[in-house]
Amino acid sequence: MTVAKPLPHDSAALHVTGQARYVDDLPLPEGAVHLAFGTAPVAHGRLRSIDLTKVRAADGVLAVITAADLDHEIDVSPSPSPEPLLAGDTVQYVGQPVFLVIAESHLLARRAAALADYDIEELPAILSIEEAMEAGSRFEEGPRIYTRGDAAEAITTAPHSLTGSIEIGGQEHFYLEGQAAAALPQEAGDMLVYSSSQHPTEIQHKVAHALHLPMHAVRCEVRRMGGGFGGKESQGNSLAIACALAARLTGRPATMRYDRDDDMTITGKRHDFRIDYRVGFNGEGRIAGIEFLQLCRCGWSMDLSLPVADRAMLHADNAYFIPNMRVESHRLKTNTQSATAFRGFGGPQGMVGIERVLDHVAHAVRRDPLDVRRANYYRPLAGASGGDISEQAKTQTTHYHMPVEDFILHEMTERLVETSDYRARRAAVAEWNARNDVLKKGIALTPVKFGISFTLTHLNQAGALVHVYQDGSIHMNHGGTEMGQGLFQKVAQVAASRFGIGIERVKITATDTGKVPNTSATAASSGSDLNGMAVQAACDTIRERLAVFVAERAQARPEEVRFEGGKVLVGGEALSFDEVVRDAYMARVSLSSTGFYATPKIVWDRIKGEGRPFFYFAYGVAVTEVAIDTLTGENRILRTDILHDCGASLNPALDIGQIEGGYVQGAGWLTTEELVWDGKGRLRTHAPSTYKIPACSDRPDILNVALWDGANREETVYRSKAVGEPPLMLGISALMALSDAVASCGKAYPDLDAPATAEQVLRAVERVCT
C-alpha cells in the first residue's frame, strides 16, 4: 500500500532542477504591468493630503491609485471587521499601503512608490500592550473569559502561591518566497488570479468583491508556495486584489511581489503576548488553581486575531489538569502591523504561559520540573495502567469542558526519558554546573498537547475532485494548498492506496477554485485530515462503481472485489486495473467523482468557552539541553531528543521533516528571533541582517527524532494525525532549558522573557546571581 511509505515530496525532482514554478516564475503574456504600494511613514495620523506629482512623473509609471480613486471601499480583511486596501483619511501603522503604483517593471514601480510627499497630522500612536490596556484600545467589547471551578478560592486556600509574568515576542514568518500574485484579464471581464496563498477561495471571494463580480467570474489557482506558515492565510489578499484592479484598469496582465523589506514592514507577524499568572499549589508542586491574564497585541486591524487569541486560551492548560482555572484574554488594538496567523495560531503562546508556570512552581518547590510536570499531567487513559472503574479512572476534562480521551503523554514521556537518558544527563548537567563557573548547562523536557480542528466549526469541511481516465491514469484535485509540507504527496498516497495502484499513476494538480469550490484555508494543521478524507471519499465512489461493474460480470458480490497491486481481484480472477477501467468506460460507467468531508463530533461555543472544539489532540515531547556563557549570555543548543505522535503516519519521512523544521522554527522564535520596533512604531528588524533566523550552524549538534507508534483513536484518514503545527511547540523545551541553565547560577527564579536572546539571558543571569 502506498500509504505509510516514506516517499519524497511530490515536486522533489522539479525543485532540485529548478523547474518548479512559483508565482513570480510564471511566464506572463507580453506587456505585464508591475505594482508596488506606497506606504505610510508614520504610525498614526490624519492624512491631510498627499502629493503624487513626482510619483506620476517617474520613469515607467502608468498609473497611480489612491483610496479616493476607488469606486467603493475595497476590503481585504478575512474577518467581519473591514480592512481597507488603501488607507483613507487616517493611517494606522508604519508600512500601511496608501497608494498603488502601476509601472512597467518591479523596480520602476518600487522607485516611484518612494517619491510621494505626505502631509500628515501625526496623532498619538498606541504601540505597546501596556499603552493599549491603559487606553482601552481593543477588539471586542471586553475581555473573553473561560473558567472552570473557582481559581481565586483555590489559590487562596492552597499551601503555597506565587505570581509572575512573561513577555513573549512575536515572530516573522520569513517564508522564503515573499508574497506574490498575478492577475490575467479574461473574456467578458472575468479574472484569473495566481496567488501565493494558503486560501484560494478567499482570494477568489475578495477579488470578486473588489471587481463587483460574482465569484463564478473569478478563478484562483495555486500550485505551490515557497513556504507559508500562516503568513499566507490572509496577507496575500492585498496583492491579489491590487493585481486584479490593475489588470482591469490597464487591460494587461498584472503582477506584484513584495521586496523582502517591504514584506516584513507591511505584513503581519505572530502575535506578541504578555501573560500574567497567579498560581496556588502544594509542597509537591501539584497545582490547585491558576489565574491567567493573557494580553495579546493584535496590531491595527482585526484580521484573524480573535480565533488566535481564543486558541491561546484553549492551550493555557497544555498537558495539565488544572482543577480550577480562569483565563482572561484581552485583544489589544495597536498602531503596528496587523498580527496574523502563524503556525500554532496562538496555541504556542498559551502553551508557553503554562509551561512557564510549571517551571516557576518547580523552582519554588525545588523539584525536577519534569516530576512536577508529570504530577500535573491529565490522568492516564482508563484501562491504560490496568486501572479500574472508580472515580480515579474517569476521563478528565479541560478548562473549556472537553473530555481528554486520548491522553498518551504518560507513556510517551516515559519512553523519551529512557531513550534520551534524561535522568543521567540531568545529573551530569548538575555536576558540570557545580564544577564550572562560566559555562553553565541546562536541560528540560516539555510536552505538547495540541488541539486539532478549526475552532470556527464551519471551516472543518473539504472537497475533492477525482477523475479516472480511460487509460487508468488519475487526475486528483482538492481544496488544500501545498506550501512545502508535503500535503499533495500524502493525499496522492491516499488516492493510490484506494485504487491499489502506484503513485506514478496519480497526477497531482494545482489547487483551483474552479475545480473544488468553497474551500477552507490550508491551516490549523488540517490539510491532510480534511483533504485526505475528501479525496478518499471521491476515490471510493469511483471504486464502488468499478466494483459493482466487475462483480456483476464475474457474478460475485461487490464487497468481495479488491483493489491491490495494480490489479482488481474478483472471484479468483486478477484483472489489471487499466483493463477494468477501459471496460467500465466502454460500459458507460462514470469514472469521475467529487468527494466531501466534514469533521464529526465537534461543537463549540466560543463566547461561553464550552464544548468540544477539537476532534482530537496531537501529542509530542522534547528534551533539549543547552549551554550558556554567563559572561556574555551567548547560548547554544547541544542536543535535542524528540518523540512525536503523528498517529499512523501517512508518510513518515515527510512527517519527520515537519517535526525537525517545526522544532527549529519554534526554538528560533523563543531564542534568537527578536522583532524590534522603535518609539515611533517603525520596525527596525525588517531583513534577515537584523532579524536572526536559525542558520544551519545553529541547529543542535545532536537531533534525535522518533515517531510514536500508535494509531489515532479517532477515525481520521488511515488513523493518521495532523503534524503541521504541533512540533513547533516542542521548541518550548529550549526556552525552559535556558531557564534551567540560568537557575543554576543562583537562588532566585530566572524570570526569562522570550525570545531569550543573549541579552535576555545575560540580564537573567545577573538577576539570579545578585
Partner 1 sequence: MESLSLTVNGKPVSAEVEGRTLLVQLLRETLGMTGTHVGCDTSQCGACLVHVNGDVVKACTMFAFEADGAEVTTIEGMADGDDLHPIQEAFRTHHGLQCGFCTPGMIMSAAALLKENPKPTEAEIRHHLEGNICRCTGYHNIVRAILAASGQPVPERTATATADA
Residues with catalytic roles: 725
Would you count residue 483 as binding partner 1 (CB under 8 A)?
yes
Within 10 angstroms of residue 632's Cβ, the number of other Cβ atoms is: 13
Cα–Cα dist 329/460, whole Å: 25
Cα–Cα dist 421/547, whole Å: 53
Cell of 281: 499549589
Cα–Cα dist 364/356, whole Å: 12
User: CB of residue 257 vs partner 1: minimum separation in angstroms?
Assistant: 8
User: CB of residue 154 vs partner 1: minimum separation in angstroms?
Assistant: 40
Which listed option, ligand FES, partner 1, none, makes contact with residue 19 (CB within 5 to 8 Å by class)? partner 1
Q: Count interface residues toward partner 1 (CB under 8 A).
A: 71
User: CB of residue 664 vs ligand FES: minimum separation in angstroms?
Assistant: 11
Q: Could you tell me which of 624, 645, 644, 643 has the C-alpha nearest to residue 635? A: 624
Among 167, 259, 411, 564, binds partner 1 (CB under 8 A): 259
Cα–Cα dist 200/519, whole Å: 8
Which listed option, partner 1, ligand FES, none, makes contact with residue 687 (CB within 5 to 8 Å by class)? partner 1
Among 16, 176, 598, 702, binds ligand FES (CB under 6 A): 176
Cα–Cα dist 527/732, whole Å: 24
Q: Quick one: 354 or 523, whose CB is closer to ligand FES?
A: 523
CA torsion through residues 96, 99, 102, 105, sign: negative
**327 neighbors 146 (Cβ within 8 angstroms):** yes
User: CB of residue 260 vs ligand FES: minimum separation in angstroms?
Assistant: 8
User: CB of residue 262 vs ligand FES: minimum separation in angstroms?
Assistant: 14
Q: Quick one: 16 or 587, whose CB is closer to partner 1?
A: 16
101 alpha-carbon distance from chain centroid: 32
Among 170, 231, 463, 484, binds ligand FES (CB under 6 A): 484
- Residues 193-232 binding partner 1 (CB under 8 A) are 224-227, 229
- Residues 688-747 binding partner 1 (CB under 8 A) are 688-689, 693-697, 699, 703-707, 709-711
Among 185, 227, 350, 750, binds ligand FES (CB under 6 A): 227
Q: Quick one: 24 or 75, whose CB is closer to partner 1?
A: 24
Q: Count interface residues toward ligand FES (CB under 6 A).
A: 3
Cα–Cα dist 462/458, whole Å: 10
DSSP 680: T
Cα–Cα dist 317/267, whole Å: 30
Which listed option, partner 1, ligand FES, none, makes contact with residue 404 (CB within 5 to 8 Å by class)? none
**Contact window for partner 1 (CB under 8 A) among 213-221, 398-406, 478-486, 587-595:** 478-486
Cα–Cα dist 189/243, whole Å: 14
Would you count residue 662 as binding ligand FES (CB under 6 A)?
no
User: CB of residue 418 vs partner 1: minimum separation in angstroms?
Assistant: 13
**239 neighbors 195 (Cβ within 8 angstroms):** yes
- Classify burial at 113, counting beta carbons within 10 Å of its beta carbon; exposed 0-12, middle 13-18, buried 19 or more: buried
Do you find a cis peptide bond into 755, omega within 30 degrees of 0?
yes
Among 272, 512, 529, 660, binds partner 1 (CB under 8 A): 660
- Residues 362-421 binding partner 1 (CB under 8 A) are 419
Q: Quick one: 463 or 484, whose CB is closer to ligand FES?
A: 484
164 alpha-carbon distance from chain centroid: 28
Cα–Cα dist 519/596, whole Å: 11
**42 neighbors 119 (Cβ within 8 angstroms):** no
Contacts of 737 (CB under 8 A, 6+ apart): 442, 443, 444, 624, 625, 626, 637
- Residues 5-24 binding partner 1 (CB under 8 A) are 5-6, 8-9, 11-22, 24
Q: Quick one: 484 or 727, whose CB is closer to ligand FES?
A: 484
Between 550 and 589, how does the x/- string for binding to partner 1 read (CB under 8 A)?
----------------------------------------
Residue ranges in contact with ligand FES by CB under 6 A: 176, 227, 484
